[in-house]
A and B are shown apart, each in its own frame.
Chain A
């Protein structure tokens, strides 16, 4: 078990190194940073001076080494457009994105599992068929369209919810949270639903398919032959077996929720990392783009690691086979 975890951690470090190389390469290939910083009438001597002060004259390997060591300390350089350290910009935006992503994932998992279980157990009811239809819409409609439709309905027509922003936030140390104020919570509803809808439909369809599969297995038949209550069979035996693949998908999807929050954040002008990233792309602010890339991949890799470990917690078979294999 320990060897398994260690091996996975090593693999994760390998992935992060590769991503680091790519992030670094962005500085060199996505245009000359100096010309991004200076204005048109800056003299050649001044340009050379800036180039030297930024360390862009040094050999590539030295630059990469410096970038790597700085990245380990969460120093990602200075944003070209804001003239502020990228790490403090990201730290300022991180809580908004994480709160949005966690709420969206929670919504997706709770609603997805409930709807999935219901439509597996009551396959022929009208409601189950309605869920199936809704899930098709959720999977096929693009995120921004859902966001705009929600804004039109609940913000413009009904006026129940704010159409943009995060509402009032409360500072808890460096973390700013919108979960403690009424306006913050109200502002969270539509972005969270927009962001989580695709995941919800995915989880719902997965849970339904897995549950139907599990209900056909011999051990469920045997559980029925043992006279267990329907409730114990459905929610104890069947659901637990259903959740094994659901954990993986939900975990991996959490990574994409953060990555794809870009669109939702743009639609709702949510002051998170995604919005920062979009602004960075528009202004070719490479330090922010590189740091965002590193950050998102770090989240992805971490989640993968956690999911792998969670897997062994849920499924005892993996526990002993990975123990034996290593």
Chain B
């Protein structure tokens, strides 16, 4: 097996508050291979975005990475000094945020923002960087880029701004793109275009993509593999077809059951009762146990570790080899 672009092992992220230390991410491990798109799904607060921010080194105090390691193409990046991780950001890892309306500095021309980023990471001259910026804008599908490059962010629509943001994220040909809910703030019609664009860029440049979203439709359409997160842990991870068609973890089952279909089956959507626990009150054992339909004694005491099931990996006691009959 070739070396993955991104390899996260037992990542832990803590937020130190006056009252207590809250663990937002607790033992998350995953890999993303070259050219692969990994979807990360889960409810709000499951730790999807924090995982993305931890990878790019943008966890702000009082938050900190308290354990585990993050490797980018074989080199550890989780303990780099600030100046070194800055050089990684934007150059080797590009990031796309949720809201394109607020991601761009309103006082600078978009061209200047792109040129600034290019020149921060390469030795290109001003004019060469400008030519490259025009090429990038063309690549992300902005019409008449040689004119639009001198526009200000407010002169672009939401979808066009997200294209500019994507151009900024890929301008130094990064190995990895982290897209944190890139379509949530956009119109449905524009969402599909942006997703198609991210997918195409990943394929054309062999870039690994970590796509954080809570839109299962986007996951099913775009990703090669998907990780379902719950309460700071990965509940289930595996190839997208399997996880969507045949989810193993009770939470993943509930999540997939909550996707509306157009097939016309006149069924009510499945709901998962209750809500995700707050970080300050994560239950002992499996964090999902209070809401789980298959809960048994062991779930309330012992935290389940990921277990391989074919290509999938699931953190649930139901799949312990020894317990299979008992469950």
- Which chain A residues have a beta carbon within 8 Å of chain B's beta carbons? 217-219, 221-230, 232, 236-237, 240-241, 244, 314-317, 320
Interface centre among B56, B82, B99, B108, by most chain A C-beta atoms within 10 angstroms, is B108
At the interface, yes or no: B223 with Cβ under 8 Å from chain A?
Answer: no
Whether B91 pairs with A227 at a CB distance below 8 angstroms is yes
Please name all residues of chain A whose beta carbon is closer than 8 Å to the beta carbon of B169 when the two chains form the complex.
225-226
**Is B95 in contact with chain A by the CB < 8 A criterion?**
yes
Q: Looking across the interface, which residue of chain A has its beta carbon closest to that of B89?
A: A227
CB distance from A216 to the nearest CB of B (A): 10
A218 to B161, CA, bound (A): 14
Q: Tell yes or no: B152 within 8 A of A by CB.
A: yes
A241:B107 contact, CB within 8 angstroms: yes
Partner of A240, one of B56, B107, B165, B172: B107
Residues of A within 8 A of B152 (CB): 316-317, 320
Smallest CB gap from A317: residue in B: B154
Known: A218-B102, A221-B97. A226 touches B90 (CB 8 A): yes
**Docked complex Cα distance between A241 and B90 (Å):** 22
A219–B103 CA distance with the chains assembled, in angstroms: 4
Cβ of B88 to closest chain A Cβ, rounded Å: 7
CB distance from B221 to the nearest CB of A (A): 25
- Beyond A227-B89, A317-B154, whether A222 also contacts B103 by CB under 8 A is yes
Q: Output the nearest chain A residue to B117 by Cβ-Cβ distance.
A: A226
Chain A residues lying within 8 Å of B88, measured Cβ to Cβ, are 227
B89 lies within 8 A of A316 (CB): no
A-B CB contact pairs (8 Å), 20 listed = A218-B99, A219-B103, A221-B97, A222-B165, A222-B168, A224-B58, A225-B90, A225-B95, A226-B90, A226-B95, A226-B120, A227-B87, A227-B89, A227-B120, A230-B86, A232-B116, A314-B107, A315-B106, A316-B154, A317-B106
Whether the Cβ atoms of A226 and B89 lie closer than 8 Å is: yes
Nearest chain A residue, comparing its CB with the CB of B98: A218
Give the CA-CA distance A244 to B107 in the complex, in Å: 10
Cβ-closest chain B residue relative to A224? B58
Residues of B75-118 whose CB lies within 8 A of A: 82, 86-91, 94-95, 97, 99, 102-108, 116-117
